Amino acid sequence: MKKILAVDDSASMRQMVSFTLQRAGYKVTEAKDGVEALGIAKNETFDLVLSDVNMPNMDGISLIRELRTLPEYKFVPLLMLTTESGLDKKTEGKQAGATGWIVKPFNPDQLIATLGKVLR
Amino acid sequence: MTVDLSQFYQVFFDESLEGLDAMEAELLRYSAGTQDDESINTIFRAAHSIKGGSGTFGFDSIAGFTHVLETLLDQIREGQRELTNQHIDLLLQSIDCLRDMINRLSAGDDSVPDSAAQLKAAFEAILNDENELGPEPEALQAKQILEETSSLEQLADTQTLGWKVTFVPSEDILMTGNEPLFLIQELTELGDHEVELITEHIPQWQQLKPEYCYLRWVVKLYCDCTEQQINEVFEWVADECEIKIEKLQTKSEQSIPAKHPPLTSTQPQTAMQSVTQTTDSNEQIEQTKPVVNKPAKSKQADANSIRVGIDKVDSLINMVGELVITQAMLSQLFESEMTSQTLSRMKEGLAQLEHNTRDLQESVMRIRMLPISFVFSRFPRLVRDTGQKLGKKIELVLQGESTELDKTVMEKISDPLVHLVRNAIDHGLELPEQRLAAGKPETGKVTLNSYHQGGNVVIEIIDDGKGLDPVKIKNKAIANGLISASDELSEEQVNLLIFEAGFSTAEAVSDLSGRGVGMDVVKSNIQALNGTVDVESEVGKGTTFRIRLPLTLAILDGQLVRIGQHIYIIPLVNIIESLQIDPKGVSRIGGEYDVLHLRGEYVPIVCLADVFLHKADAQSLTEGLLVVVEVDGGKVGIFVDDLLAQQQVVIKSLEANYNKVEGISGATILGDGTVSLIIDIISLVRMAGVKSMATANLVSTDVNAEGV
């Protein structure tokens, strides 16, 4: 079973993402911000990390930057989950090492469909 | 896969309301000038989350409304704009508006308050004001429409024979987490295809870096997918990779697909399969908007939930564990033979059980306890708005916010507190010029303080305003017939008059306080919680209202008293002392009731047996005991046959199980299984027809005037 780390400061989004992914057969661990996610990711490797951008303590882009420097996460898909469809955030994310992005709002089907690009 | 999004609505509503609270708090810090670097981020993040969530869950009215807020906040956050007072006002109003929208939605009502359109227009006006700043909402919409049209055009462009896609990944593509194979697979799922792998760019062994990708692909798609669909597949890697998309031109290229795609070969597909898959992906595009389900009605909205710290739950589980062990030990003892040894061990076990039960009770109580900041947190906004309306400058100080209080008590104390704070601002604090003239700082101060004292929670509302004016109060009270002109009252007693029904000293009834809900309602609300309120005031210096509340409504410390065979419970909080009556100090007044002269005070005596029509053992005052209780700032003695134990009793509602009974606030079940009634002191005294007397000077002359 593929393991996904879902990071979002909004509990409703986190629950929605997590529920959707679990229904699709993934094992999901939740984190509420970058700091918590990084702590979890260091103890356990995941097949994919799905992170919100705007979060307290550590934002999604910093999290991705940190994760990408870890040897275990060199090739792991790191996706940003964001409403900021503006080009600057995407570019910033890519420079930090993000694999791709999913633009909010999205529905559960779109989420699962998009994961197919990087996780099979 | 269908996921019912409505199951997340309640969480979304809860967290949105929390977010709005946080936004409000930070905005108020701005208007007080105490913001820090994180403030704007917190505000932005809250708006951002609400927008994201509402979009996801299909609450378009909220999403649209929050969009303009977010745009403005983002510009402020990026330093393109200053946060002005106008912005703060608008944002605060928007918070109210959003709360309203959320509450309506959670009640299953998707209507939008009238203020929403106005506020949105106001924000748009700000955003449009400086055109160079950020894209205008209209422009954004226009752009979206443009995009939609162009995609429509592309969708219409379905007559192509197919596409030839050349994919040259960047060499370090793997390091971004992207996997070319998956992308090719994704692409081939669009329809019939032919894949060619180009391996000629693989370097010599010596130069080959194992983590790099040197492969290239050419994919021919024989399907009516659009160029956009192909672009979407490569969306994430388009910047680093070379992707060439060409229309298949010649008939020869549209040959029958190769039997199997080389190398990727994972899924040799039949035409049938690919057709279904194409339909699937089309459906996905059409479904970009989440289905708007009406929120599940009413039930969720009423869900009265409580958030409990995990430590509290843990300690509860721990406690239950202990209980189970004790229970197991006891039942084991019962199975064994009875000896004096087992008996003493059983005694130990019972003591242990008692200990466990008490701990368990405390733990359960702790779950209902919430910090008073839940109530306090609404005051910064209230104080700001009220101050603004009245043209007063106010500093609000909150102290003891972590003091915990039972949730039910908290809910019921909120309105009285609001009233008291409004009063303090409206009637207590002076206008800035008056303050300066009185040699006080221009800014008035209102302090909310809370702390535990014994088994009670004390909440203080302190202002440094002009204080209560005893002369004015007295005159007013005489005019209203509450007292007579000849009454000599201490300043304290005069101040207490403001709690009498139908009393209002505000010269002009303002919009804020004095709207008919008087201090008497505040007082009766507090008394309904078994609490008390008193006031201290000094002319020119300020006023302090002090509310005392029991920690919880579920349990009470009681004094068991006996009249004949009946056992009643008097709440321990009410009791000042219990004593044997010295007959020499008793005098009969008006031929109707006795008062006891006790250390300079006259204490009316209420005989419990008479009130409840019981037959008492004590035939004279010397045979029983007097329990002196505090009522409305005065003292009353309750005459009983005997005092029994003091113990904590669990309050059962009499109203819910039987009927409301005058003089009784509830019932409990004693250790031996009998039901015992809990006395409601205030209503008991009212029944007895006795008015308490606070001081001695009232008694001899004015007792009759007091309306006994």
pLDDT digits (tens, 9 = 90+) for B71-118: 888 888 888 888 888 888 889 999 999 999 998 888 888 888 888 888
Nearest Cβ partner of A105 from B15, B179, B290? Answer: B290
Residues B365 and B380 in one domain: no
Q: Is B71 helix (H, G, I), strand (E, B) or coil?
A: helix
Phi and psi angles of residue B600, each rounded to the nearest 5 degrees, phi first? 85, -5
Residues B376 and B403 in one domain: yes
Closest by alpha carbon to B227, among B252, B209, B244?
B244
Least Cα separation, residue B405 to chain A (angstroms): 26
Task: Kindly state whether residue B303 falls inside one of the protein's structural domains.
Answer: no
Mean pLDDT value of segment B370-377 = 87
The residues on A that touch B, with CB distances below 8 Å, are 9-13, 15-16, 19-20, 23-24, 54-56, 74-78, 83, 91, 94, 97-101, 104-110, 112-113, 116-120
Residues B362 and B256 in one domain: no
Q: What element of type H or E holds A7?
A: strand A3-7
Residues of B in contact with A74 (CB under 8 A): 175, 211
CA–chain centroid gap for B177, Å, is 42
Chain B: residue nearest A119 by CA?
B182
Contact A97 B42 (CB under 8 A): no
User: What pLDDT is attached to residue A50?
Assistant: 93
Task: Kindly state whether residue B638 falls inside one of the protein's structural domains.
Answer: yes
Mean pLDDT value of segment B294-318 = 62
User: What pLDDT is attached to residue B301?
Assistant: 37
Give the span between the Cα atoms of B550 and B546, in whole angstroms. 13
Mean pLDDT value of segment B364-374 = 83
User: What pLDDT is attached to residue B305?
Assistant: 67
Sequence-ordered alpha helix ranges (H) in B33-136:
37-57, 60-77, 85-106, 114-129
pLDDT > 50? residue B575:
yes
Give the span between the Cα atoms of B170 and B201, in whole angstroms. 12
Phi and psi angles of residue B466, each rounded to the nearest 5 degrees, phi first? -85, -5
Task: Kindly state whether residue B304 falls inside one of the protein's structural domains.
Answer: no
User: What pLDDT is attached to residue B302?
Assistant: 39
> Which residues have CB under 8 Å from B497's CB, separation 6+?
B473, B474, B477, B482, B483, B489, B503
Mean pLDDT value of segment B488-497 = 80
Asked if the C-beta of B68 comes within 8 angstroms of chain A's C-beta atoms, the answer is: no
User: What is the spatial order of strands in the sheet that B555-563 belongs to?
Assistant: B642-650, B555-563, B566-571, B675-679, B664-669
Last residue of a domain, one of B115, B131, B151: B151
Task: Kindly state whether residue B339 falls inside one of the protein's structural domains.
Answer: yes
pLDDT > 90? residue A39:
yes
Are B373 and B341 in contact by the 8 Å Cβ rule? The answer is no
Residues B136 and B171 in one domain: no
Least Cα separation, residue B178 to chain A (angstroms): 6
Contact A118 B176 (CB under 8 A): no
Domain count, chain B: 5
Residue B272 CA: distances (Å) to CA of B160, B262, B275, B276: 20, 20, 5, 7
B300 band by pLDDT with thresholds 50, 70 and 90: very low
Chain A: residue nearest B240 by CA?
A94
Residue B501 CA: distances (Å) to CA of A93, B496, B497, B663: 66, 11, 9, 21
**Beta strand B444-453 pairing with B456-463:** antiparallel
CA torsion sign for B562, B563, B567, B568 is negative
Task: Kindly state whether residue B291 falls inside one of the protein's structural domains.
Answer: no
Last residue of a domain, one of B525, B550, B575: B550
Residues of A in contact with B288 (CB under 8 A): 107, 110
Find which of B9, B37, B41, B49 to mutate to test the A interface (most A CBs within 10 Å of its CB).
B49
Find which of A117, A118, A119, A120 to mutate to test the B interface (most B CBs within 10 Å of its CB).
A117
Residue B637 CA: distances (Å) to CA of B285, B562, B598: 80, 15, 10
Task: Kindly state whether residue B708 falls inside one of the protein's structural domains.
Answer: no
Residues of B in contact with A77 (CB under 8 A): 177-179
Q: What element of type H or E holds A48?
A: strand A48-52
CATH number at residue B40: 1.20.120.160
Higher pLDDT, A58 or B276: A58
Residue B161 CA: distances (Å) to CA of B185, B227, B253, B285, B641: 20, 12, 9, 21, 105
> Could you tell me the residue range of the domain that residue B331 belongs to?
309-370
Residues B141 and B209 in one domain: no
Residues B189 and B220 in one domain: yes
Residues of A in contact with B64 (CB under 8 A): none
Task: Kindly state whether residue B595 falls inside one of the protein's structural domains.
Answer: yes
Contact A99 B1 (CB under 8 A): no
Last residue of a domain, one of B498, B524, B550: B550
Contacts with A, B 153-212, CB within 8 Å: 174-179, 182-183, 185-186, 211
Residues B516 and B586 in one domain: no
Closest by alpha carbon to A8, among A62, A60, A76?
A60
Structural tokens at position B631: 């009522």
Percentages of chain A per state (helix, strand, coil), in multiples of 5: 45, 20, 35
pTM surpassing 0.80?
Answer: no
Q: Is B372 helix (H, G, I), strand (E, B) or coil?
A: coil
CATH number at residue B603: 2.40.50.180
Question: Lowest-pLDDT range, A69-73, A79-83, B634-638?
Answer: A79-83
pLDDT single digits (tens) B137-167: 444 444 444 444 444 444 444 455 788 888 9
Contact A83 B15 (CB under 8 A): no
Task: Kindly state whether residue B286 falls inside one of the protein's structural domains.
Answer: no
User: What pLDDT is attached to residue B228?
Assistant: 84
B249 band by pLDDT with thresholds 50, 70 and 90: low
Question: Lowest-pLDDT range, A17-31, B393-407, B469-483?
Answer: B469-483
Asked if the C-beta of B545 comes within 8 angstroms of chain A's C-beta atoms, the answer is: no
pLDDT single digits (tens) B647-706: 888 888 787 778 788 888 888 888 788 889 999 888 888 888 765 444 333 333 333 433
User: What is the spatial order of strands in the sheet that B163-168 belongs to?
Assistant: B192-198, B216-222, B163-168, B242-247
Residues B417 and B541 in one domain: yes
Residues B404 and B509 in one domain: yes
Question: Average pLDDT of chain B?
Answer: 78
Question: Lowest-pLDDT range, A57-66, A103-112, B676-685?
Answer: A103-112
Residues B95 and B19 in one domain: yes
CATH number at residue B389: 3.30.565.10
Contact B45 A56 (CB under 8 A): yes
Residues B170 and B216 in one domain: yes
User: What pLDDT is attached to residue B259?
Assistant: 44
Phi-psi region of B640 (alpha: psi -120 to 50; beta: other; left: phi over 0): beta
Catalytically active residues of B, by annotation: 48, 70, 423
pLDDT > 80? residue B511:
no
In order of their start, the domains of chain A are 3-115 (3.40.50.2300)
Residues B393 and B539 in one domain: yes
